[in-house]
Amino acid sequence: MRKTYCIIILCFITANTFAQNVATINGKPLSAKEFIWFYKKNHQNDANAYKDLETYLNQYINFKLKVLDAKDMHLDTDTAYLNEIKNYDIALRAQKHVAKTNAMYNMILNEYKDAALMFNVSEMKVWNKAQSDENLLRAFYDKNKNTYTSTFEDIKTQVMNDYEQYLENEWVQALRKKYTVKVNLPEVRKLVKL
């Protein structure tokens, strides 16, 4: 009886905890509070339509997956990165309206940390590859020649942009296979009312 009771309580706690999260990414919860803060920050005049929230959640999960990949590559221990974060933290603390214990301070600082990591890893995995190897660009152009109406030289910038998008898509697909992602759609639906 006692064992059954403990299992029921554990299940209730687990279900209740997950219910307050819109997703888990590789076992780490993504809270509804964090997600809606970022959503509203980037969609100030938009209504919270379910389709918009779902689309943004997928984009945000992709962002978090890239950050996780950067951490797995130990980019978060890089000296230049750590100095950048330290300088940003100093500047953030100097602002009068942001208190050190303020939850907003933590959200802003974490957002900056993640954005810097995402930028650094994207530069390595996508942007540098697309800009540094013209042979890869030409091979991509040749493979997709039927989608272009001009010569490679005439549309090199467009080919580079398309190749970057291709690399990005391949990377995100690989990340979604590498890391487990669970989305809590009922919790996302609740956010439509906020």
Model pLDDT, residue 127: 94
Identify how many contiguous H helices and E strands the chain contains and give both numbers.
9, 3
Q: Over the stretch 108-153, which tens digit does the pLDDT of each residue have?
A: 899 999 999 999 999 999 999 888 889 999 999 999 999 999 999 9
Candidates 67, 176, 171; CA nearest to 114 is: 67
Model pLDDT, residue 27: 92
Q: What distance in Å separates the CA atoms of residue 162 and residue 159, rounded to the nearest whole number?
A: 5
Model pLDDT, residue 66: 97
Model pLDDT, residue 180: 95
Query: 24: which DSSP letter?
Result: E
Name the helix (H) or strand (E) containing 30.
Answer: strand 28-31
Q: What distance in Å separates the CA atoms of residue 47 and residue 192, rounded to the nearest whole number?
A: 8
Model pLDDT, residue 154: 95
Name the residue range of residue 88's domain.
2-193
Model pLDDT, residue 11: 33
Total domains in the fold of the chain? 1
Residues of the chain with pLDDT under 50: 1-18
Residue that the structure tokens 């549309």 belong to: 155
Bridge-partner residues for 28, per DSSP? 25
Joined tokens for residue 33: 């509070």
Model pLDDT, residue 93: 82
180: domain CATH number is 1.10.4030
Q: What distance in Å separates the CA atoms of residue 136 and residue 139, rounded to the nearest whole number?
A: 5
